[in-house]
Amino acid sequence: MRYFNAHRKGLIALALVTIGFYAFYFISPIKATSMLESSWRFAIPLVLAAMVGVIGERSGVVNIGIEGQMLTAAFAGFFGAALTGSLLVGAVAGVIAGIVMGAFLAWTTVKWQLDQIIAGVVLNIVAAGVTSFYYKQGYTLPALMPKFEVPILSQIPLIGPVFFNRGVFALAALVLVFVIQYMLFSTRWGLRTRAIGEYPNAADTSGIDVIKMRLINVTLAGGLAGMAGAYLSMEAAGTFERGFTAGRGFLALAIMIFGAWYPNRVMAAALFFGFASATASQLQIDKVVDIPQQFINMLPFVMTLIVLSVAAGRVRPPAAAGTPFVKGSA
Amino acid sequence: MTQPLLEVRGVSKAFGKVQANKDLSIHVNPGEIVALLGENGAGKSTLVKQIFGLINPDDGEIIVKGDSTPIKDPSDAISRGIGMVHQHFQLVPVMTVAENIILGNEPRKGLKLDIDGAREMVRRISDQYGLEVDPDAEIEDLPVGTQQRVEILKALSRSVDLLILDEPTAVLTPQETDELLDVMKSLAANGTSIVFITHKLREVLAVADRVYVLRDGELAGEVLARETDQAGLALLMVGREVVLRVDKGEPHVGEEVLKVEDLVVLDDRRLKAVNGMNVSVRTGEIVGVAGVEGNGQREFVEAIAGMRPVVSGRITLSQTDDITTAQPHHVHAAGVGHIPEDREKHGLVAGYSIADNLVLNRFDEPEFSARGIRNFAARDENAEVLVEKFDIRTASIGSSAASLSGGNKQKVVVARELSAEPKLLLAAQPTRGVDVGSIEFIHNQIVAARDAGAGVLLVSAELDEILSLADRIVVMHAGHVVAEMPAKDADRQLIGRLMAGGN
Ligand SMILES: Nc1ncnc2c1ncn2[C@@H]1O[C@H](COP(=O)(O)OP(=O)(O)OP(=O)(O)O)[C@@H](O)[C@H]1O
Ligand SMILES: [Mg+2]
């Protein structure tokens, strides 16, 4: 009951959206399923990538290098699997690539106090350079990442096939949203993480090692970017090209802001973006409107602009995000 | 003799060229309250920060319960039974009281934070020490006095043998201060040792057993509290006689410089904090606004300074100049100086140099710039003069404001605002956190500004400050004036009752 009162608005919105979608499903099961399916497909990498930003900023480190982290991971995953013929090797390589990139950001900004924006830009440039330079045509994956049917849950109409009949990274994205939400707000790690991102001096005087905690959080969050990248090349597309992530890392930052740095709201925001773009495509398929495909592809970015201009001033980022912590400066 | 709980032996600490502590030695016995006194920048905070492991000494030893291994960091200090309440609040504004208190020492049930247990614990210690707080309130919604209580509870929540309090009373009302002093006495009676930093000599005499006086980073003296008095302490601190009373002549009152009519202003929670306020200030007089903090004083001053929108009513300068809706820049240009209550937030830019901070609202005036290009020579000259005149203790005028001690930051703000020779000076808590010598100096400067023809609106939580400085006193309660009187007829008891809402 206390839970309900504290989250009343969110729960009511969730209930209304669910009812709405099932009503739609009742009228047109095929269309509803396909639209929800393309919304979530669009959202999966964004959810994972936006959570990299959430954990980073909640700990006080702005990460604009998510794009580069994802790109490197997509590359490592694809070629890891293509060269060894093992999907497992590829998946692990992708996640490790993300963690390595996370560690780069962590050490440059937290340990050596390089400007966080500059470090993020460096990450993106290095990632674009390295992945283009070593890119070779003519490789293929042994197979796409296999799908798992989650028992029972995948039998639920509508949401079953969309959410619970997926590859590992997509399932991980779904589970991790709730796990990280819980960790941030109900565990010791979460309380401390929020403290070092809001007011690191207070954490320091409470006996928390701010530097160490930021290093660990930013590094491990890189693993989520790794999953997002590997998802794109190994689970969704099955290919890799130059500039493969196409700005999704930046879109994720917009979604992080739209989701006000809460994992569950981030998921809702990502689904909303996905749904908007699915609606536009659907309208075109149905010949309701006739807009060139390029404009449809532009939609998420236009929405980003709108969302950010509306959200600006309404949501409040963690206060210390962007500033390095210097011990004894209190 | 028993072994001292804390022994500091020959500790030295330098920040660049500034030698903040020089070969300091002190000790604290179990159950003893020791006060640290000293001018702003004498090195008090530096010393206790080393005891708490926030910074590490260059030289010397800190021995806790006979153990001389260096104190690495705060968590090390905490595990050895040391707790500290900091001069600058160390609370996370967006978290609740309970969350702040358990931070770093969290009760858990399995993997989950035990927030219910935390609430219980907060209630229990809050009852035990008679420090009332709501465990579920968010810090940023609380008045500073309550935040201070949370700080103290946080330190007490981890069983401490040594409690360090760095200027805990600077932001407390007199009643809250008395409550805190009682808590300190009962803690000491139960065996806790306390190191207490304050600038208020009355408090030192009320609770301390022994007093160490620091001057320029060195130990200048040690006395037993029962063998000294206020004048004696002040002499030890400053090295000269300090006049604790303000000497001022009769005011030469002229025309009205500020008129506030039926002012209504909202606070941050959108409630009417100022509700029908009427005040008038004339040139050459000091009007003191007395009141318990949180009765709209802050919002009132901010509205005049242009920092807070006015809901209704009028603010007029020099009878003709309507500044009700003016922006801070225009208010300043119209001749209003403002010493804000929160110097960290509204008075200084921490990362800027002292020289820049001293011209913060005037850098674009002809004196300091020509055709959009700043005149750095003039800025530096200005800084040299003010640092000298206001005795701002700093390594150089190029040092950042952040490197200054608390009281010296205050002096920077006061120096800047007075040097602009305002015709109206808004002074909110102008001597908060300032040592007795500097209080005397700032008071004299305010009186000098008055005698030069400025009108002064003085808001202070210190009734003593109001009584000694003001020519006319208005008492503010619940957002408006409840009484007004000439200072010479003022009666302490009566004002105290009026402040509390009685009559
Ligand atoms: N982090 C720092 N960097 C440079 N200088 C510093 C730093 N911290 C303190 N100082 C300098 O060391 C000296 C002692 O400062 P400290 O804060 O200990 O004074 P204090 O006695 O606590 O004064 P106050 O009563 O004003 O709080 C001051 O001159 C101050 O400018
Ligand atoms: Mg101090």
Residues ≥6 apart with Cβ < 8 Å to B264: B272, B274, B275, B276, B277, B310, B311, B312, B313
Contact yes or no for B90 and A328 at CB 8 A: no
- Considering the domain architecture, whether residues B326 and B447 belong to the same structural domain is answered as yes
CA of B37 relative to ligand 2 center, distance in Å = 10
| Residues in chain B within 8 Å Cβ distance of A199 | 90-93
Strand order in the sheet with B193-197: B82-85, B162-166, B193-197, B33-38, B210-215, B218-224
Residue ranges with CB less than 5 Å from ion ligand 2: B 45, 87, 406
> For B264-313, what is each residue's pLDDT tens digit?
999 887 889 999 999 999 999 999 999 887 889 999 999 999 999 999 99
> For B418-467, what is each residue's pLDDT tens digit?
999 999 999 999 998 888 888 888 999 999 999 999 999 999 988 889 99
> For B94, which residue in chain A has the nearest alpha carbon?
A198
Q: State the pLDDT confidence band at B33, using cuts at 50, 70 and 90.
A: very high
Question: What confidence score (pLDDT) does residue B141 get?
Answer: 83
- Considering the domain architecture, whether residues B52 and B84 belong to the same structural domain is answered as yes
Q: Does the domain formed by A10-311 have CATH 3.30.70?
A: no
The pTM score is 0.85
Return the CA Rg of chain B.
Answer: 23
Which two structure tokens, joined as six digits, stand for A254? 């917009």
Mutate to test the interface with A, among B75, B82, B92, B96 (most CBs of A within 10 A): B92
CB B247 within 8 A of CB B432: no
Would an 8 Å CB–CB cutoff place B86 in contact with chain A? yes
Closest residue by CA, ligand 1 atom 3: B403
| Residues in chain A within 8 Å Cβ distance of B75 | 207-209
CB B471 within 8 A of CB B483: no
Chain-centre distance for alpha carbon A190: 19
CA of A195 relative to ligand 2 center, distance in Å = 24
The finding on whether B437 has its CB within 6 A of some atom of ligand 1 is no
- Considering the domain architecture, whether residues B58 and B125 belong to the same structural domain is answered as yes
- Distance from the Cα of B323 to chain A's closest Cα (Å) equals 27
% of chain B surpassing 70 pLDDT: 99
CA of B434 relative to ligand 2 center, distance in Å = 10
Among A65-79, A123-137, B24-38, B337-351, the least confident range: B337-351
The finding on whether B22 has its CB within 6 A of some atom of ligand 1 is no
- Considering the domain architecture, whether residues B53 and B171 belong to the same structural domain is answered as yes
Closest CA to B423 of B444, B449, B448: B449
CB B166 within 8 A of CB B87: yes
| B438 class by beta-carbon count within 10 Å (0-12 exposed, 13-18 middle, 19+ buried) | buried
- Considering the domain architecture, whether residues B318 and B171 belong to the same structural domain is answered as no
| DSSP percent split of chain B into helix, strand, coil, nearest 5 | 35, 25, 40
Residue ranges in chain A whose pLDDT is less than 50: none
Residues ≥6 apart with Cβ < 8 Å to B181: B203, B206, B207
Which two structure tokens, joined as six digits, stand for B328? 């801070």
Closest residue by CA, ligand 1 atom 4: B403
Question: What confidence score (pLDDT) does residue B171 get?
Answer: 77
Q: CB neighbours (10 Å) of residue B212?
A: 25
DSSP character string of B433-490 = T--HHHHHHHHHHHHHHHHTT-EEEEEES-HHHHHHH-SEEEEEETTEEEEEEEGGG-
- Distance from the Cα of A47 to chain B's closest Cα (Å) equals 24
Structural domain spans, chain A: 10-311
Q: Which DSSP helix (H) or strand (E) runs through A96?
A: helix A87-106
Would an 8 Å CB–CB cutoff place B81 in contact with chain A? no
Look at residue B361 and tell me if it is in a domain: no
- Distance from the Cα of B78 to chain A's closest Cα (Å) equals 7
Contact yes or no for B90 and A208 at CB 8 A: no
Average pLDDT over residues B42-50: 95
Average pLDDT over residues B333-338: 94
Closest CA to A272 of A123, A50, A93: A50
CB B313 within 8 A of CB B325: no
| Residues in chain B within 8 Å Cβ distance of A188 | 106, 108, 113
d(CA A206, CA B161): 16
Tell me the one-letter amino acid at A269. Answer: A
Which two structure tokens, joined as six digits, stand for B410? 């205050």
CB B458 within 8 A of CB B287: yes
Q: Which DSSP helix (H) or strand (E) runs through A283?
A: helix A263-285
CA of B20 relative to ligand 2 center, distance in Å = 11
Question: What confidence score (pLDDT) does residue B1 get?
Answer: 56
d(CA A169, CA A183): 20
The minimum-distance atom of ligand 1 relative to the CA of B47 is: 18
| Residues in chain B within 8 Å Cβ distance of A187 | 111-113
- Considering the domain architecture, whether residues B225 and B156 belong to the same structural domain is answered as yes
Which residue range is the domain that position B156 belongs to?
6-238
- Considering the domain architecture, whether residues B128 and B17 belong to the same structural domain is answered as yes
| Residues in chain B within 8 Å Cβ distance of A316 | 94
* Count of the separate structural domains present in chain B: 2
CB B481 within 8 A of CB B296: no
- Considering the domain architecture, whether residues B10 and B60 belong to the same structural domain is answered as yes
Closest residue by CA, ligand 1 atom 17: B405
Alpha-helical segments (H) within B221-351: 230-238, 297-304, 328-333
- Considering the domain architecture, whether residues B141 and B204 belong to the same structural domain is answered as yes
Tell me the one-letter amino acid at B375. Answer: N
CATH at B466: 3.40.50.300
Average pLDDT over residues B392-407: 89
